A and B are shown apart, each in its own frame.
Chain A
Amino acid sequence: MDRFLLLSDGTVFKGRSLGAEGSTSGEVVFNTGMTGYQEILTDPSYAGQMVILTYPLIGNYGINEDDFESDRIQPTSLIVHEACESPSNWRSRQTLHELLVERGIVAIQGIDTRALTKHIRSKGVTLGAIADTQKEAESILSGAPSYDELDFVYQVTTRRAYKWGPAGRESIETEDDPKRPRLVVLDCGLKYNILRRFWAAGCRPIVLPATTPADEILDWQPDGILLSPGPGDPQRLKPVIETVKSLLGERPIFGICLGNQLLCHAVGGHTYKLKFGHRGSNHPVKDLKTGQVTITSQNHGYAVHQDSLKGTAAVVTQLNLNDGTVEGIECPDYQARSIQYHPEAAPGPWDSRPYFAQFVQEMSSRRL
Chain B
Amino acid sequence: MKVFVIGSGPIVIGQAAEFDYAGSQACRALREEGCEVVLLNSNPATIMTDLGMADRLYIEPLNVEFCERIIARERPDALLPTLGGQTGLNLATQLADAGILEKYGVRTLGTPLSAIKMAEDRSSFRGLMREIKEPVPESWIIQTPDELQDLLDVAPYPCIIRPAYTLGGTGGGIANSREELWEIGNNGLKLSMRSQIMVERSLLGWKEVEYEVMRDSAGNCITICNMENLDPMGVHTGDSIVVAPSQTLSDVEYHMLRSASLRIIQSLGIEGGCNVQLAVNPDSFDYYVIEVNPRVSRSSALASKATGYPIARVAAKIALGKTLDEIENQVTGSTKACFEPALDYCVVKIPRWPFDKFTTGDRTLFTQMKATGEVMAIDRTFEDALMKAIRGLEVKTKDLRHTKFMGDPSEGIPPMPDDELKEMVRKPTDERLWALAEALRRDWGVDEVNRISRVDRWFLHKILGILEKEMSPSADPVSFKMVDTCAGEFESSTPYYYSTHELVGDQVAAPSHIC
Chain B residues positioned under 8 Å from A185 (CB to CB): none
Pairwise interchain contact A54-B342, C-beta atoms closer than 8 A? yes
- The 0/1 profile, CB within 8 Å of B marked 1, for residues 224-254 of chain A is 0000000000000000000000000000000
Known contacts A88-B461, A112-B502, A291-B218: A82-B381 contact under CB 8 Å: yes
Give the residues from 11 to 37 in chain A that come closer than 8 angstroms, CB to CB, to chain B: 30, 32-36
Q: For the complex, give the distance between the alpha carbons of A35 and B228 in Å.
A: 14
B339 at the A/B interface (Cβ < 8 Å)? yes
Which one of A34, A84, A281, A284 lies within 8 Å of B336 (CB-CB)? A284
B283 at the A/B interface (Cβ < 8 Å)? yes
Which one of B249, B284, B339, B489 lies within 8 Å of A284 (CB-CB)? B339
- The 0/1 profile, CB within 8 Å of A marked 1, for residues 215-236 of chain B is 0001111110000000000000
Q: In the assembled complex, how far is the CB of residue A296 from the closest CB belonging to chain B, in whole angstroms?
A: 10
In the complex, identify which listed stretch (A59-67, A255-263, A356-364) lies at the interface while the others stay far away: A59-67
Known contacts A54-B487, A67-B251: A90-B343 contact under CB 8 Å: no
Cβ-closest chain B residue relative to A122: B491
Pairwise interchain contact B250-A115, C-beta atoms closer than 8 A? no
Q: For the complex, give the distance between the alpha carbons of A321 and B491 in Å.
A: 16
Pairwise interchain contact B381-A60, C-beta atoms closer than 8 A? no
Chain B residues positioned under 8 Å from A30 (CB to CB): 488-489
Pairwise interchain contact A67-B339, C-beta atoms closer than 8 A? no
Pairwise interchain contact A115-B502, C-beta atoms closer than 8 A? yes
A348 at the A/B interface (Cβ < 8 Å)? yes
B252 at the A/B interface (Cβ < 8 Å)? yes
Pairwise interchain contact A321-B325, C-beta atoms closer than 8 A? yes
Q: For the complex, give the distance between the alpha carbons of A39 and B506 in Å.
A: 30
Chain A residues positioned under 8 Å from B380 (CB to CB): 56, 81-82, 114
Majority-rule SS of B interface residues: loop
Chain A residues positioned under 8 Å from B346 (CB to CB): 56-57
Pairwise interchain contact B325-A284, C-beta atoms closer than 8 A? yes
A113 at the A/B interface (Cβ < 8 Å)? yes
A292 at the A/B interface (Cβ < 8 Å)? yes
Which one of A56, A89, A282, A292 lies within 8 Å of B220 (CB-CB)? A292
In the complex, identify which listed stretch (B171-179, B255-263, B469-477) lies at the interface while the others stay far away: B255-263
A86 at the A/B interface (Cβ < 8 Å)? yes
The interface on chain A, measured as residues whose beta carbon lies within 8 A of the other chain's beta carbons, has a size of: 54
Q: For the complex, give the distance between the alpha carbons of A30 and B437 in Å.
A: 36
A267 at the A/B interface (Cβ < 8 Å)? no
Known contacts A56-B345, A88-B461, A284-B336: A117-B487 contact under CB 8 Å: yes
Q: In the assembled complex, how far is the CB of residue A356 from the closest CB belonging to chain B, in whole angstroms?
A: 15
Chain B residues positioned under 8 Å from A284 (CB to CB): 222, 325, 336, 338-339
Q: In the assembled complex, how far is the CB of residue B344 from the closest CB belonging to chain A, in whole angstroms?
A: 5
Pairwise interchain contact B255-A345, C-beta atoms closer than 8 A? yes
Cβ-closest chain B residue relative to A54: B487
Which one of A34, A112, A350 lies within 8 Å of B342 (CB-CB)? A34
Q: In the assembled complex, how far is the CB of residue A291 from the closest CB belonging to chain B, in whole angstroms?
A: 7
Chain A residues positioned under 8 Å from B488 (CB to CB): 30, 32, 54, 114, 117-118, 121
B457 at the A/B interface (Cβ < 8 Å)? yes
A181 at the A/B interface (Cβ < 8 Å)? no
Interface-centre pick from B341, B503, B504 (highest chain A CB count, 10 A) = B504
B4 at the A/B interface (Cβ < 8 Å)? no
Interface-centre pick from B223, B245, B251, B323 (highest chain A CB count, 10 A) = B251
Pairwise interchain contact B247-A282, C-beta atoms closer than 8 A? no
B324 at the A/B interface (Cβ < 8 Å)? yes
Pairwise interchain contact B338-A61, C-beta atoms closer than 8 A? no
Chain B residues positioned under 8 Å from A345 (CB to CB): 255
Chain A residues positioned under 8 Å from B247 (CB to CB): 57, 60-61
Chain A residues positioned under 8 Å from B251 (CB to CB): 33, 35-36, 38-39, 67, 346-348
B490 at the A/B interface (Cβ < 8 Å)? yes
Q: For the complex, give the distance between the alpha carbons of A348 and B282 in Å.
A: 21
Pairwise interchain contact B342-A292, C-beta atoms closer than 8 A? no
A293 at the A/B interface (Cβ < 8 Å)? yes
Give the residues from 313 to 334 in chain A that come closer than 8 angstroms, CB to CB, to chain B: 321-322
Pairwise interchain contact B283-A90, C-beta atoms closer than 8 A? yes
B368 at the A/B interface (Cβ < 8 Å)? no
Pairwise interchain contact A115-B339, C-beta atoms closer than 8 A? no
A349 at the A/B interface (Cβ < 8 Å)? yes
Q: In the assembled complex, how far is the CB of residue B24 from the closest CB belonging to chain A, in whole angstroms?
A: 27
Q: For the complex, give the distance between the alpha carbons of A112 and B486 in Å.
A: 16
B382 at the A/B interface (Cβ < 8 Å)? yes
Q: For the complex, give the distance between the alpha carbons of A140 and B380 in Å.
A: 31
Pairwise interchain contact B342-A32, C-beta atoms closer than 8 A? yes
- The 0/1 profile, CB within 8 Å of B marked 1, for residues 79-103 of chain A is 0011011111111000000000000
Q: In the assembled complex, how far is the CB of residue B254 from the closest CB belonging to chain A, in whole angstroms?
A: 5
A280 at the A/B interface (Cβ < 8 Å)? yes
Pairwise interchain contact A322-B487, C-beta atoms closer than 8 A? no
Pairwise interchain contact B457-A55, C-beta atoms closer than 8 A? no
Q: For the complex, give the distance between the alpha carbons of A132 and B181 in Å.
A: 62
Chain A residues positioned under 8 Å from B210 (CB to CB): none
Q: In the assembled complex, how far is the CB of residue A38 from the closest CB belonging to chain B, in whole angstroms?
A: 8
Q: In the assembled complex, how far is the CB of residue A226 from the closest CB belonging to chain B, in whole angstroms?
A: 22
Give the residues from 42 to 82 in chain A that come closer than 8 angstroms, CB to CB, to chain B: 54-57, 60-61, 64, 66-67, 81-82
Which one of B222, B250, B335 lies within 8 Å of A35 (CB-CB)? B250
Chain A residues positioned under 8 Å from B335 (CB to CB): 321-322
Q: For the complex, give the distance between the alpha carbons of A36 and B255 in Å.
A: 10
Q: In the assembled complex, how far is the CB of residue A282 from the closest CB belonging to chain B, in whole angstroms?
A: 4
Pairwise interchain contact B248-A55, C-beta atoms closer than 8 A? no
B18 at the A/B interface (Cβ < 8 Å)? no
Chain A residues positioned under 8 Å from B338 (CB to CB): 284, 293, 321
Pairwise interchain contact A61-B222, C-beta atoms closer than 8 A? no
Pairwise interchain contact B258-A349, C-beta atoms closer than 8 A? yes
Q: In the assembled complex, how far is the CB of residue B491 from the closest CB belonging to chain A, in whole angstroms?
A: 8
A191 at the A/B interface (Cβ < 8 Å)? no
A342 at the A/B interface (Cβ < 8 Å)? no
Pairwise interchain contact A88-B336, C-beta atoms closer than 8 A? no
Pairwise interchain contact B336-A322, C-beta atoms closer than 8 A? yes
B134 at the A/B interface (Cβ < 8 Å)? no
Pairwise interchain contact A114-B284, C-beta atoms closer than 8 A? no
29 pairs from A and B in contact (CB 8 Å cutoff): A32-B486, A32-B489, A34-B342, A36-B251, A56-B344, A61-B248, A61-B249, A67-B250, A67-B252, A86-B458, A90-B282, A112-B504, A114-B344, A114-B506, A115-B504, A117-B487, A118-B506, A121-B488, A280-B342, A282-B340, A293-B323, A293-B325, A295-B222, A322-B335, A348-B251, A349-B259, A350-B259, A351-B259, A351-B262
**Chain B: residues with CB nearer than 8 A to chain A?**
218-223, 245, 247-256, 258-259, 262, 282-284, 323-325, 335-336, 338-346, 380-382, 446, 456-458, 461, 481, 486-491, 502-504, 506
Known: A55-B343, A86-B457. 10 other contacts (CB 8 A): A56-B381, A81-B381, A86-B458, A89-B249, A113-B344, A117-B344, A117-B489, A292-B218, A295-B223, A322-B335
What 4 pairs between A and B have smallest CB-CB spacing?
A88-B458, A36-B251, A115-B504, A86-B461
**Chain A: residues with CB nearer than 8 A to chain B?**
30, 32-36, 38-39, 54-57, 60-61, 64, 66-67, 81-82, 84-91, 112-115, 117-118, 121, 276, 280-284, 286, 291-293, 295, 321-322, 345-351
